[in-house]
Copies of this chain bind each other. A is one copy, B any other.
Amino acid sequence: MGHERRKPVTLLEVAAKAGVSRMTVSKVLREVGSISDDTRQRVRQAAQELGYLPNSLAGSLSSRKSQMVAVIIPSISDIVFSEVLSGVNSVLRPTGFQTFIGESGFEPETETELIRAMLSFRPAGILMNGGMARSADAEGLLARRNCPAIQLWDCDRRALDFSAGPSHEEAGRLVANHFIERGLRRIAYVGAELDKDLCARRRYLALNASLAAAGIDLLSVTCEDRPRQAVTGRFLTEQLVREHPEIDAIHFLNDAMALGGLSYLHEAGFPVPERISVVGFNGTSLANAVRTRLSTIDVPRTAIGEKAAQALLQMIEDEDVPEFWQAPLVLVQGNTTAAA
């Protein structure tokens, strides 16, 4: 099964087989223009028999149109993103647009190359996560793009043509109030890679500011060189309670880290929520799988993707679109924080 097969079939070959011109084949396959039923049949059959696959390079070059929508995300392993993407796809798919994904790995250099690569195919639109430090080259590429561009996951700092996402500042404030209402005052924050994920950093800063306004000092335990996953949550929590056994509430960067932290707290004999309250972020289904129902902030991820895709379609149609859509946030009370 070699791959050095014959040259792919072109319109010309289909045309020859069907006994018509290339243009006629093109019209039949795109269902434009007026073609008799008889010809239509012959062309379809010829294309089918030859296994004709249109060449999008030629097609898009010529028509200056594309069915490709580029999506660039920091990490495909971040569970968070998959639902945003499925929201995007659920709206885009029925319209015939195809989503092509690029993964930047949180590296600005890689992200820049991805933007360059994707834009060089002149996509119909581009969606990218907000909250990343972007290189100057990337900004330049985006500034000169000739398609609509949408920022996902961030609504505090608007960018590109449309932003769909939560206010991370609001999220930070929600958690702060949640703790304050419950009379918790020795509060810690556990996170990782805050230098890369600026959205998470903004949540942290808002939490910090809200607590400060209430006269509370926030203790933070973070590291930049470990993944934002359960293992890291567990590791940092261990470090935290060893040095500060007095704390009575922890907010984690995300649910995965919170679960890691919880596992350590149980093991080390810190009852949750009696002794320490825990709040995560995201509302991933993960959160309800363990015996504890994690208190967390639920983010409507699918809706974010849907709104983004809808806005994209409208912009492609040259319709007017608002500047942003702010995703509603809900702090879901589980059993890792005591009732107020």
Contacts and interface: CB of A to CB of B under 8 A. Distances in A.
Contacts of A59: 120
Interface string A75-87: 1110101110110
B89 A99 contact: no
A1 B139 CA distance: 13
A101 B76 contact: yes
A286 B230 contact: yes
Interface in A174-231: 227, 229-231
Given A3-B147, A57-B60, A58-B61, A76 B81 contact: yes
Q: Give me the 5 closest cross-chain CB pairs, A-B, nearest first.
A: A230-B289, A77-B82, A101-B101, A56-B120, A98-B117
A233 B289 CA distance: 8
A206 B216 CA distance: 58
19 contacts: A1-B160, A2-B161, A3-B161, A8-B146, A51-B143, A53-B119, A53-B144, A56-B57, A56-B120, A58-B61, A68-B117, A76-B76, A76-B85, A100-B101, A230-B286, A231-B288, A233-B289, A259-B290, A267-B291
Contacts of A86: 105
- A81, A89, A121, A160: which has the most chain B beta carbons within 10 Å? A121
A86 B103 CA distance: 9
Interface in A86-133: 86, 89, 93, 98-103, 105, 110, 113-114, 116-122
A147 to B, nearest CB: 6
Interface of A: 1-9, 51, 53-61, 67-68, 75-77, 79, 81-83, 85-86, 89, 93, 98-103, 105, 110, 113-114, 116-122, 140-141, 143-149, 160-161, 227, 229-231, 233-234, 259-260, 263, 266-267, 285-286, 288-291, 315, 318
Contacts of A227: 285
Given A99-B103, A101-B103, 15 more contacts: A3-B145, A5-B144, A51-B141, A55-B122, A56-B120, A57-B58, A57-B61, A76-B82, A77-B82, A79-B79, A86-B105, A100-B117, A121-B121, A230-B290, A290-B290
Q: How many copies does the complex hold?
A: 2
A29 to B, nearest CB: 12
A51 B1 contact: no
Contacts of A9: 144
Contacts of A118: 100
Given A98-B114, A146-B3, A120 B82 contact: no
A49 to B, nearest CB: 11
Contacts of A288: 231
Nearest to A235: B289
A113 B53 CA distance: 12
Contacts of A53: 116, 119-120, 141, 144
Nearest to A315: B3
Given A98-B114, A290-B259, A1 B161 contact: yes
